[in-house]
Structure 1
Amino acid sequence: MPHPRTPVARPVIAIAGIGIESSTFSPARTQAPAFHPSRGEEVLDRYPFLAPGEELREAAAWHGALVGKSLPGGTVTAAAFAELSDELIARLAELPSLDGLWYDIHGAMTVEGVDDAEAVLLERIRATVGPEVVVSTSMDLHGNVSRELAHRSDLITCYRMAPHEDHMETKERAVRNLVDLLVSGAPRPYKAWVPVPVLLAGEQTSTRIEPARSVYAAVDEVEALDGVTDAAIWVGYAWADEPRNRAAVVVTGPSREAVAAGAERLARGFWDSRKEFGFVAPTGTLDDCLDEALASAQRPYFVSDTGDNPTAGGAGDVTWGLARVLARPEFRDAGGPTVLYASVPGPAAVAHARRAGVGATVTVTAGAEVDDRHEGPLTMTGVVHAVREGDRDAETEVVLRVGSVFVILTALRKPYHHEHDFTDLHLDPRGADIVIVKIGYLEPELFAMSAGWKMALTPGGVDQDLVRLGHRRIRRPMFPFDPDMAEPDLSARLIAPSDEPLTGDDE
């Protein structure tokens, strides 16, 4: 039986975590400044439910250690991981005695020379704060859950929606579960973990459509069972190549029978649906998508340039797609169909256009400084339409009109997910004929704005054709790499509370 705990009226809780979704198939490398780390009191400012006066804020004494979140990108350098981890641990060591810790991560961080980086960091955290501290982990559903990570977490949960419209709700749930456990004095929960040998892209597992909609609807049903505290399904991260990369289920709660049965139900539902998962939108080559957009009366018509999606881990500076757009004869004259293209980094191009000013005609070269495997740097001549400085991600943005294409150039890579990302640059996405965005599934504002939409299967570090990427280290057999594989063992691996020793393997 789990060890009983002493109730804590107002527990002392720390917040810590480093998060990124990092592709091993991108040549990019992620450095420490990309995480924009928050420290101390500013950590609490990240979470509306921990604002002064909020119930959860008053329920505990909160201490921010370090929380850093980067845009998705390439593998994190060993030096960056060491720098951030060492500071996080040092800050934890300076805090008063803790009752709990909220581990706020993504779950798909790949680090040079390190497998399962989040579990490695959590092991260091536990060694610092002591074995009695209760840890609640919150994650992205595109993260990876090894047995070690599940074991070292007392509570663990993830998003239930893709796109992640419930991201803050999930974090609040992780915190509430932690506070409730500490205040009640309940024993640490049992955890039932099931690895599911399926690895699919997020664009194939969106909860907007079936079967993911129904697969994830079952999570709420399992969570509602007596003896269950939380239930979660991780799709896993498809664009990294580690043994932990696969789908997984974890159900936590005081009843070992209930969590085991719930985990097996969710794992079976995911596995049985594996061949039904499809892309969330129609797909085609880039030329197919442009042909259809031009022929359609739907405006604006969105095209996802998926292979270099910076919010999935792409380098963001692949020029392959833009080169083909600018080569289309339909867009060579200013009077052609209006096209918005977001975006390509080119710091030198941005600096030159900014100096020239709005209205100037400039010739600049941008892109392919990081990922030049598919197309080299692209030289363009156009009119500077807009200049904007001070963006958190891009730093400086420039819009260059080349024919009828409005190309957004950035000093640093930036995702374009919101209408204001365009209107801030004096662009009208609702009035455009075609909007091309480096993205996979459309984020909610873009989805609501789009009259038509198609996903272009373009090359890059987050290529949607997973089989051709060349995974070498994932556990095999794995669907869809081994489509005719035998039935896997989907029985629950019961993980006793984390103050008991880890036994067994990671299979």
Structure 2
Amino acid sequence: MSDPRTQEAAVAQRLRIAIGGIALEASTFCPHRTTLEEFSVVRGEKLLARYAWVREDWAADVEWLPVVHAYATPGGPAVPEAYDALEAELLAGLDETLDGVFLDLHGALSVVGREDVEGALARRVRDRVGGRTLVSASMDLHGNVSRELAEAVDLITCYRMAPHEDEWESRERAARNLVLRLRDGGRPLKAWVQVPVLLPGERTSTRDEPARSIYARVPEVEALDGVLDAAVWVGYVWADEPRCRAAVVVTGDDPEVLRTEAERLARSYWDARGAFELVAPAGTFEEVLDVAVDSAARPFLLSDSGDNPTAGGAGDSTVTLHALLADDRLAARVLDVVLSNVTDPVAARACADAGVGAEVVLDLGGHVDTTAPPVPFRGTVTSVDHSVGVRAVVRSGPVSVVVTERRAPLHREAEFQALGLDLRAADVVVVKIGYLEPDLFDLAADWRLALTPGGVDQDLLRLGHRSLGGPVFPFDPDPPTPDLTPVLIP
């Protein structure tokens, strides 16, 4: 029989690591405001169930303590009372007895009237748990890393792919590195440097050069002796704050290697600033619609990039819907057109109440993003689904419009199939997105990026940034050469 004292000692040596976070990608140019009701909040076992790696061998002797994680679909800034309630709950679940904290963040969280929300959150977490506890953060590569954030956490990393096919791998890396350092190695050093370049994801996809080569270098740096992790952030272009710009952090134990490699990554990003191009041919919506109508490629996808709710758009802009309904060529050429989606709770519920086959008259969209007015829309309800709020399809002539109660974009073929829409049989599909997610990218015979106005406008100079805190490319097309010497943070 084993000695109970030995068992007690083993239990006492188990690491105690809390898990939590608040994640929202928020455009300060979007008129939408994110309320508490729009956050999906998980706690307890449901929170642990998000992370398959807690059951991996390397995590076996860790007591994972789920606190709270809140995520909202990208949109406008959170209202202060919503954020404050979530932050208070997260902080209340932390204390100085913890060995570690894993923070699952985004990096582009904005709250009305505040700046650098994640930096302030990380500082409050640090104050709550004290200096002995190690804190590790995982982030989206479209987040921002201020000096306050870099100083408040001990380890920090981000995705290495855009589209984000490695987001769960990145979270696991952040947690695994935390466990590794708690077991052996202690608090690492960080070489941090910001790069005065701020570009959208549609110009920095890792599918394309120069981002592909820059990000291919990241795991090579990570593999060097004296390095634990390396990360490059693009930054979030649709917020107007001084922290918004590209950043590099290299973490490890060899100060010279960390500084050298962080500066090399930062320099490569700076030097490539003029080479970043849009991921697809682009133009106004009218221009790209002309191409789609005349093309033989089917289905032909068009991205309504200015109202992309996965980047922070309101999701109810009617710019593209007005243009489609005004285009007589679509009916004349017997084209099948799908537009996904217009967020309008009142219209979605009206479609559901009327039922499939009913004719409805809607005052559709344009209630939050008023770039274009609501559309007086008369059509027939062809489908209704209640799996994620109300989703309905209503058709007028050649155009089928997906109307949603909630701000939840459709980016997977199966979501359209559930609504009775066969995208492969369509001629033109308009989606509210920037670069196409993998499912849509594989499905498209051809595609174009529509440079539409909205909260996440790709025409960056049209947005009107005022608070970036100095020259930043491309807002300053000829900025002075920056000092890219990294700051070493203990």
2:490 is equivalent to residue 471 of structure 1 = no
Partner of 1:420: 414
How far off its partner does 1:165 sit? 0.3
Which stretch shows the higher mean deviation, 110-119 or 53-62?
Answer: 53-62
Distance 2:424 2:232 in 1: 36
Partner of 1:4: none
Q: Given residue 277 of structure 1, which amino acid in structure 2 is its aligned partner?
A: F
TM-score, length-scaled by structure 2 = 0.96
Distance 1:332 1:380 in 2: 16
How far off its partner does 1:330 sit? 2.1
Partner of 2:342: 344
Q: Identity over aligned residues, as a percent?
A: 53
2:44 is equivalent to residue 40 of structure 1 = yes
Distance 1:463 1:59 in 2: 47
Distance 1:267 1:133 in 2: 30
Report matched runs for 1:5-404 at 5 Å: 9-50=13-54, 53-93=55-95, 97-184=97-184, 186-332=185-331, 336-372=334-370, 374-391=371-388, 395-404=389-398
Question: Kindly tell me: are residues 458 and 271 of structure 1, through their superposed partners in 2, closer, same or farther at Cα, counting changes over 3 Å?
Answer: same
Q: Given residue 388 of structure 1, which amino acid in structure 2 is its aligned partner?
A: D
1:347–1:366 contact (8 Å) kept in structure 2: no
Query: SS state of the match for residue 360, structure 2?
Result: strand
Which stretch shows the higher mean deviation, 54-63 or 163-172?
Answer: 54-63
How far off its partner does 1:332 sit? 4.2
- Kindly provide the CA deviation profile for residues 228-285 of structure 1, in whole angstroms up to 9, marking residues without a partner as x: 0000000000000011000000000011111111100100010000000000111011
2:299–2:425 contact (8 Å) kept in structure 1: yes
Distance 1:250 1:127 in 2: 22
Distance 2:243 2:458 in 1: 20
2:126–2:153 contact (8 Å) kept in structure 1: no
Distance 1:389 1:477 in 2: 48
Structure 1 stretches of 5 or more lacking a match?
Answer: 1-7, 497-507
Q: Given residue 74 of structure 2, which amino acid in structure 1 is its aligned partner?
A: P
How far off its partner does 1:113 sit? 2.2
Partner of 2:6: none
How far off its partner does 1:409 sit? 0.6
Distance 1:432 1:212 in 2: 33
Q: Given residue 216 of structure 2, which amino acid in structure 1 is its aligned partner?
A: A
How far off its partner does 1:57 sit? 4.1
Structure 2 stretches of 5 or more lacking a match?
Answer: 1-11
Q: 1:430 aligns with which of 421, 424, 434?
A: 424
How far off its partner does 1:475 sit? 2.2
Distance 2:382 2:58 in 1: 47
Report matched runs for 1:421-460 at 5 Å: 421-460=415-454
How far off its partner does 1:45 sit? 0.9
The root-mean-square deviation of aligned C-alpha atoms, in Å, is 1.3
Distance 1:350 1:492 in 2: 51
2:123–2:148 contact (8 Å) kept in structure 1: no
Q: Given residue 11 of structure 1, which amino acid in structure 2 is its aligned partner?
A: L
How far off its partner does 1:364 sit? 1.1
How far off its partner does 1:422 sit? 0.4
How far off its partner does 1:225 sit? 0.9
Distance 2:321 2:20 in 1: 39
Query: SS state of the match for residue 383, structure 2?
Result: strand
- Kindly provide the CA deviation profile for residues 355-393 of structure 1, in whole angstroms up to 9, marking residues without a partner as x: 221111211112112111x211111111111000131xx
Distance 2:226 2:25 in 1: 33
2:162–2:205 contact (8 Å) kept in structure 1: yes
1:187–1:254 contact (8 Å) kept in structure 2: no
Count the aligned residue pairs. 479
Partner of 1:485: 479
Which stretch shows the higher mean deviation, 33-42 or 220-229?
Answer: 33-42
Distance 1:164 1:409 in 2: 26
